[in-house]
Amino acid sequence: MHRPQTALEALAWRRLLISSWPWRSAGYLIATVPVAIVAGALMAVPAVPWLVLVAGGYPAGAVVLLVLLGAVLIAATSPLIAVPVASLARRRLHLADRQQPGSWAGRENAAGGAVPWLRARYRDPAAWRQTGYACLLATVVPALAVTTLLAAPLAVAFIASPFLVLAQQPGSSPVALFGH
């Protein structure tokens, strides 16, 4: 069989456990956290009007205005914010996929200045896919990371519990989580 080019292809490879693919996949997952932090920090900037709403105490008209202003700022700046996030994601993807992913770089270097570049950026479907990816990365990935960090000790406790029961001295009281 040929050498796998992606982590998915490597799953069917007989030499998977002695190859670099498990380490590459782990590196890909670990590298997600810094990219998510960058995405979250960049996506928080246009959401400042919504952060002001958290303080509370505003009349209904101001609340509506702040909600609309936040939505307009996010819609206007997200495709621009997605450029560095997508660039980091493409670099990270090289860990789990040896094939080179497509890039928006060919269109980023459009001749004619900033206005044609912005026009091309906002009309390109790839820019909006990158924007969706950045939004998910900024919101869903941190929640999944926290959930994983909270679930890991629980999994360790479940794995260790049979050994704790076996290590118990004969005739002692039963094992209890919240004992007397």
Mean per-residue pLDDT for 108-115?
69
Q: Is the pTM of this model over 0.85?
A: no
| Cross-strand bridge partners of residue 97 | 6
Q: How does DSSP classify residue 19?
A: S
- Give the pLDDT score at 106: 45
> For residue range 77-90, what is the model confidence (pLDDT) as tens digits?
889 989 888 888 88
Confidence of residue 30 (pLDDT cuts 50, 70, 90): confident
- Give the pLDDT score at 96: 84
- What is the average pLDDT score of the chain? 84
Whether 56 shows a pLDDT value over 80: the answer reads: no
Whether 111 shows a pLDDT value over 80: the answer reads: no
CA distance 49 to 103: 32
Confidence of residue 180 (pLDDT cuts 50, 70, 90): low
Whether 109 shows a pLDDT value over 60: the answer reads: no
> For residue range 151-171, what is the model confidence (pLDDT) as tens digits?
988 999 899 888 888 888 887
Q: How does DSSP classify residue 177?
A: T
Whether 5 shows a pLDDT value over 60: the answer reads: yes
CB 7 within 8 A of CB 97: yes
